Amino acid sequence: MRIGELAARTGVSVRALRYYEEQELLASERSTSGQRHYPDDAVDRVELIQQLYGAGLSSKAIVSLLPCVVDGDATPELLDRLAVERDRIDRHIEDLVSARNRLDKVMANAGRNLRTGEHCRN
């Protein structure tokens, strides 16, 4: 498939796909006219890349773990790196839950203010 089709099927911009190639996250073959062509499994790969970016992993981290995901090749160092990333994500989740809990308190106080006229509390 050509780059436009891959972009449409994944919801990722053509510019982002070119960036993924620059970062060696994605590979294409070139036609004689220079157009990029991707295999069908590129859709799954782009979706994985997007998910890992969404989790906060860097391009460098993603490149280092793709051989394990794609080829099944792992090393002890890779496993350690994945554990570090998982721990970072866990800390981020804890921070988000804390922020949500504080927002819930602010919302409760604001609701009380609207119902009773009582000043919002900290």
pLDDT digits (tens, 9 = 90+) for 26-57: 999 999 998 999 999 999 999 999 999 998 88
- Partners of 30 in beta bridges: 36
pLDDT of residue 117: 84
**What is the DSSP secondary-structure string of 24-92?**
TS---EE-TT--EE--TTHHHHHHHHHHHHHTT--HHHHHHHHHHHHH----HHHHHHHHHHHHHHHHH
pLDDT in tens, 59-80: 988 998 887 877 777 888 888 9
User: For residue 98, what are its two tokens?
Assistant: 């804390």
pTM to 2 decimal places: 0.72
Task: Give Cβ neighbours of residue 88 (< 8 Å, ≥ 6 apart).
Answer: 56
The closest of 83, 34, 36, 81 to 61, measured between CA atoms, is: 81
User: What is the rounded CA–CA span in Å between residue 7 and residue 79?
Assistant: 31
Q: Judge residue 47's burial from the number of C-beta atoms within 10 Å of its C-beta, 0-12 exposed, 13-18 middle, 19 or more buried.
A: middle
Question: What is the per-residue pLDDT for 107?
Answer: 93
